[in-house]
Amino acid sequence: MMSSNGTSFPNFFLLGFPGLVPRYHGAVSALLLLVFLAIAGGNIFILLLIKLDRRLHKPTFLIFCHLALTDLLFGTVTLPRVIWRYWLGDAWMAFRACFTQMYFVHFLGATHSFVLMLVALDRFVAICDPLRYPAVVTNAVVTVLGGVSWLMPASWMVGVVTEAIALPFCDSPVIRQCYCDHFSITRLSCDQSQVEWLAFPLAMFSLLCPLSFIIFSYCAIMATVLKKYGGESRGRVLSTCSPQLLITGLYYTPRCFVYMANNQGFHFSELVRIVVIMVYSLLPAAVNPLIYCFKMQEIKENLKRKFHKRKATCPAGRIVVASS
Q: Hey, how many other C-beta atoms are within 10 angstroms of the C-beta on 91?
A: 17
Residue 6, pLDDT score: 39
Per-residue pLDDT of 81-119, as tens digits, reads 999 999 988 999 999 999 999 999 999 999 999 999 999
What structural domains and CATH numbers belong to the chain? 14-312 (1.20.1070.10)
**What length is written for the chain?**
324
Residue 121 CB neighbours (<10 A): 20
Cβ-in-10-Å burial (0-12, 13-18, 19+) of 319 comes to exposed
Confidence at residue 255, expressed as pLDDT on a 0 to 100 scale:
78
Tens of pLDDT along 268-322?
Answer: 777 887 888 888 888 889 988 888 776 666 666 666 666 666 555 545 444 333 3
Q: What is residue 3's predicted lDDT score, i.e. its pLDDT?
A: 47
What is the number of other CB atoms lying within 10 angstroms of the CB of residue 229? 15
**pLDDT at site 324:** 30
- Within the chain, which residues score under 50 in pLDDT? 1-8, 314, 316-324
Contact 275, 17 (CB under 8 A): yes
- Per-residue pLDDT, 7: 45
Q: Give, in degrees to the nearest 5, the angle at Cα 138 between 136 and 141.
A: 85
How is the beta sheet containing 174-175 ordered, strand by strand?
Answer: 92-94, 11-14, 174-175
Integer Cα distance of 106 and 157 in angstroms: 7
78 neighbors 281 (Cβ within 8 angstroms) = yes
pLDDT at residue 243, rounded to an integer? 78
Residue 115 has what pLDDT? 95
Going by DSSP bridges, is the β-strand pair 11-14/92-94 parallel, antiparallel, or unpaired? antiparallel
**Cα 211 to Cα 227: distance, rounded to the nearest angstrom:** 24
